[in-house]
Amino acid sequence: MPRMQLTKTMIIETALSLAEQQGYEAVTMANIARSLSIKPPSLYNHFKNLEEIKHAMAEAAQIQLYEALRDTEQGAQPLLSLAKAYVHFGSSHPGLYASSLPGGSWEVSEALVQLIADGLTSFPLDETDKIHAIRGFRSMLHGFIDLNKHAGFKLDVDLEKSLEQMVGIYVRGLQS
Amino acid sequence: MPRMQLTKTMIIETALSLAEQQGYEAVTMANIARSLSIKPPSLYNHFKNLEEIKHAMAEAAQIQLYEALRDTEQGAQPLLSLAKAYVHFGSSHPGLYASSLPGGSWEVSEALVQLIADGLTSFPLDETDKIHAIRGFRSMLHGFIDLNKHAGFKLDVDLEKSLEQMVGIYVRGLQS
DNA sequence: TTGTAAAACTAATCCTATTAGTTTATAGTT
DNA sequence: AACTATAAACTAATAGGATTAGTTTTACAA
């Protein structure tokens, strides 16, 4: 295997730091190649096309998201800690979070879901209801991040408070 | 004003039907121009650039979303009806819904918020808590639509049921 | 009827992604 | 140590986007 200085991992790491520093829209073949001091066509020796690169990015970004959540303090309100960590990750690393959306691997998705499931253990839910509850929780958090990105919340009311209230309402709804 | 057959409204309507029929990514200067049987540069006589066109689209799309929600039956569970109408609109008109996200006008945004506020009247909330509750509700619904679009919910569990449960949990949380 | 200005046009520039075809360097084999 | 096959880079090209400059056309107003 000749000239294998350049690896898939290097390409994905370069693409992710591009997303992190200049936004997800900056993830182009031209920009990735420029960052690596190669020409765009060379990338096709390692990935079929840009879509494949973005899929690989999603997997790596999802792992970073997972690790950020896993390292969260599990205090008295595990769902609130999780929510804050999730929204904080999405808001402070928008490019990375956007990178994670296209999908990723089944295992990491599952691990992420398990993290939420762990926060739900204190509520008596059968398997199906647990899945519904997890979907609702993720929807809430993702929607909060994404609406914010689209400047959805215009009023001058504390965002962090909104997040706390939202999670508070949801948790009380699970209890009753 | 010479040759004013082409109006801003015609351009926006063309762009919206492009989004509706071929997806939001199909909203390009080239495609809009092609649909109108003109050349792309002609569009710049009416709009500064593509971004401005997309802003105008957002306003029109948001009105359509508002009207779809306004015409909703206000039964015993107004928030559930609203949620179903919202998610149904987002899922069955993904291009239109995506068009609405970049913003729109303040008045329409406000009207949309008011629609949710109307569904919240039976709950005793002060002004600030009402805003938090509205933000949470919108986050939930938008997140549900968007995660679905990104194939976020992989498990074979009824989606409509998930939506009902999610709204049910939130409403119970508001009550307690 | 003529002049002006709006609205179309053509042609060009500068981005993308992607493919074809070519060169080069290296790893493994003789 | 020389040879060869191949991976991995390259150049050059195509096709599609947004946008700008400059030109022509046309409708209306004076």
Total domain count, chain A: 1
Buried b or exposed e, range B59-76, using 16+ CB within 10 angstroms = bbbbbbbbebbeebeeee
Q: CA neighbours within 13 Å on the CB side: how many for A66?
A: 20
| B78 domain-assigned | yes
What band does B2 get if pLDDT is binned at 50, 70 and 90?
low
Give residue-wise pLDDT tens across range A84-103. 999 999 999 999 999 999 98
Neighbouring C-beta atoms of residue A11, cutoff 10 Å? 22
Q: Which of B143, B150, B157 sits opposite A141 (nearest CB)?
A: B143
- Asked if A173's CB is within 8 angstroms of B168's CB, the reply is yes
A122: Cβ contacts below 8 Å, ≥ 6 apart? none
| A3 domain-assigned | no
- To test the contact with chain B by mutation, choose from A139, A160, A167, A174 the residue with the greatest count of B C-beta atoms within 10 A, namely A139
Tally the residues of chain B. Answer: 176
Structure tokens at B63: 């009105």
What band does B77 get if pLDDT is binned at 50, 70 and 90?
very high
What band does A1 get if pLDDT is binned at 50, 70 and 90?
low
Return the minimum-mean-pLDDT range out of A130-134, A165-169, B150-154: B150-154
What band does A2 get if pLDDT is binned at 50, 70 and 90?
low
Average pLDDT over residues B9-19: 98
Using the predicted structure, report yes or no on whether residue A4 has a pLDDT greater than 90. no
- To test the contact with chain A by mutation, choose from B62, B106, B139, B165 the residue with the greatest count of A C-beta atoms within 10 A, namely B139
CB–CB of A167/A80 below 8 Å? yes
Q: Which CATH number belongs to the domain containing residue B146 in this structure?
A: 1.10.357.10
Q: Which residue has the higher pLDDT, B104 or B165?
A: B165
| B7 domain-assigned | no
pLDDT on residue B132: 98
Q: What is the Cα–Cα distance from B137 to B147, expressed in whole angstroms?
A: 15
Neighbouring C-beta atoms of residue B9, cutoff 10 Å? 11
| B44 domain-assigned | no
Q: CA neighbours within 13 Å on the CB side: how many for A3?
A: 4
Using the predicted structure, report yes or no on whether residue A75 has a pLDDT greater than 90. no
Range of the domain at A72: 8-175
In sequence order, what DSSP letters do the residues of B3-69 get, joined into one string?
Answer: TTTS-HHHHHHHHHHHHHHH-GGG--HHHHHHHHTS-GGGGGGT-SSHHHHHHHHHHHHHHHHHHHH
- Asked if A166's CB is within 8 angstroms of B139's CB, the reply is yes
| A2 domain-assigned | no
Determine the residue of chain B that is closest to A142 in CA distance: B143
| B170 domain-assigned | yes
Identify the sign of the CA torsion B152, A43, A34, A6.
positive
